[in-house]
Amino acid sequence: MERVVKRGLISPSERATPAIRRTLRVVQGLLLGALLLTGLGPMLWLAKAAVTPTQDTLRTPLSLFPTGVDLANLLTAWTRVEIDKYFLNTVVIAAGSWLVQLVVATTAGYALAILRPRYGRLITAVVLGTLFVPAIVLLVPLYLTVVRAGMINTFWAVWLPAGASAFNVVLVQRFFANLPREVLEAARVDGAGPVRVFWSVVLPLSRPILGVVSVFAVVASWKDFLWPLLVLPDPAVQPLSVRLPALQRYVELDVFLAALAISSVIPVALFLVFQRLFLQSGALEGAVKG
């Protein structure tokens, strides 16, 4: 068999040259630095501004604590602005949305990929077709459905629509379809039924994709603004994404930035915890195969 040589802008012989190798390292270092500055810069600035007095942020926004650190901003945002209450609302909404999305995605993916019903391909095509429908088109009929069901100002108005995620269903279905059939057949031979196979075999083998779907679900719920604004008009049950813009005009800049920093803790922590699922497990790569 002929050996396939991957060609690039620089050949392997040129890479072996010390001058070119040093130049590549410098260029790669500069690109990495620019990427870090672009990606982490706003977040680091927000963390700095959260503990910086307002006058320092307005006069010298890029200076590093010119007159010291003011940790009272975080305490003020947590207590006087009642960020703790809205933070708890956001956690409850995100947790419920995550649970509903995970249940719907795993059960639907299992049915379509493992059980394979008679009209499974047609159902899959319909699910894929919903991905081409803009979400804004469904906004009015979905809102009317929630109003008629009497779910306004309840968390169910956010939880239940979140489960209708065709993207998650397709993602989990593709991953389940690539699971080793020998393991599933062995479980059936041992007498395991569909529910036992799903709970004891499929789910333990699908931890990577479950982690990926979990991160997508929580982050999407955490930053969602329009739908919670429509179905949760009562400020007592609104999440941070809805309340923070409304509170901006009533609080100082440093306290508002501290509140923004607090609201961004959970998504950043989730990514740091589950980053291995994105970088090492190949969950997304496995899901799109086949």
User: CA 224 to CA 218: how far, in whole Å?
Assistant: 10
- Structure tokens that stand for 203 in this block: 């789910």
Specify the pLDDT at position 70: 82
Contact 128, 170 (CB under 8 A): yes
Q: Name the strand (E) or helix (H) holding 176.
A: helix 166-177
User: CA 288 to CA 6: how far, in whole Å?
Assistant: 24
- Tell me the HSE value of 47 on the side-chain side, using a 13 A CA sphere: 8
Mean pLDDT of all residues in 83-96: 91
Place of tokens 């006069």: 59
User: CA 123 to CA 206: how far, in whole Å?
Assistant: 22
pLDDT beyond 60 at 283: no
Specify the pLDDT at position 151: 93
Specify the pLDDT at position 2: 47
pLDDT beyond 50 at 129: yes
- pTM for this structure? 0.79
pLDDT beyond 70 at 204: yes
pLDDT beyond 80 at 290: no
288: confidence class by pLDDT, cuts 50, 70, 90: very low
Specify the pLDDT at position 234: 93
Q: What does pLDDT average to over the chain? A: 85
Specify the pLDDT at position 278: 57
6: confidence class by pLDDT, cuts 50, 70, 90: low
Segment 160-187, tens digit of pLDDT: 999 888 999 999 999 999 988 888 888 8
8: confidence class by pLDDT, cuts 50, 70, 90: low
pLDDT beyond 80 at 154: yes
DSSP result, 233-268: -SGGG--HHHHHHHHGGGS-HHHHHHHHHHHTHHHH
